[in-house]
Structure 1
Amino acid sequence: MTEHPDSPYAPDELVRQGGVGVPDAFMRLWTPHRMAYIEGENKPTSSAAGSGCPFCRLPGLADADALIVHRGESAYAVLNLYPYNPGHLMVVPYRHVADYTELTDQEVADVATLTRQAMQAVRAVSGAHGFNIGMNQGDIAGAGIAAHLHQHVVPRWSGDMNFMPVIAGTKVLPQLLTDTRALLAKSWP
């Protein structure tokens, strides 16, 4: 690597840092709020149920404080604190279970109903063109909180994979989560 005249780093240090700090034509878009998720903020240190699990703790809070959009009989819908897209919800059973096969028939029905209603509410509020819906079962499958089952409902729009996430690794969320929660709660079928 050649030394840039404006760089405070010696050439060998630039190689170790992968060129970071070398002036170039790229604008850096920083998303420090994502570091909280990466570093495990709010992630339980144990797989046990109770106050250490955010999905067990949230139902004990006021809906607006917990970002809960709707409460069902055996599950609830809550905004994702670290959303992939605006309106990204999760449907979570109240009971602390890790695996879909552990759900009762009532819980399965409630999760399905709340997922359908979440899609209806998001479409009514934002006109989503489609959805990614799914569960990551276990740490190895990418579950951020593997001990408490949750299903993601991620709204999608034509062209939502623009240059920001593809090139810049950045999501633009045009609305505060509290505002999104209020709109979705008001529009819940």
Structure 2
Amino acid sequence: MATSSSSSSSSGITERRGIPGAQFVEDVQTYLTQLGLDVNSALAFLQERLQQYKLVEMKLLAQQRDLQAKIPDIEKCLDVVGTLQDKKGTGEALITDFEVSEGIYSRARIEDADSVCLWLGANVMLEYSCEEAIALLQKNLDNAKASLEVLVADLQFLRDQVTITQVTIARVYNWDVHQRRMRQAAAAKDS
């Protein structure tokens, strides 16, 4: 954890893949002075930042759901191509049901398949040898798992920033309440 020389922050503001880091505020007065903001402006700024974090979180969670759905599909394709490769040359046919359209299946008998066709997306299908298909699918699986790991780390970083921002909002608000009470007590004492 980097330490700032000012007394308003105990950690330097960082960024992770475009997500700005939140500043933990130790001294609210110094924080407000450094930003040149009054309490209401600071609270509005912090609330806006919190909303931005929530929007990014929704986007990252959607990406996480997509990857979590994609990984089992890739693993299933790898299993199928591996099974086809294992049956090749044995003289044994593979009998399987495959989805023609959503909810519509057909039965197929596959004997000595030398190649497979893979959907690559955007209505593109290419034919690959079983070895090439396994290599491509394994690469895609590895990339998807690595992307998921990065995404999970991004979400953790983002959640930390949300927590820091929420704590800062509470600290600024509580500081303002304390300042008002002190002003009221001083005014009551003077009168």
Using structure 2 for the length normalisation, give the TM-score: 0.24
Greater gyration radius: 2
Using structure 1 for the length normalisation, give the TM-score: 0.25
Higher helix share: 2
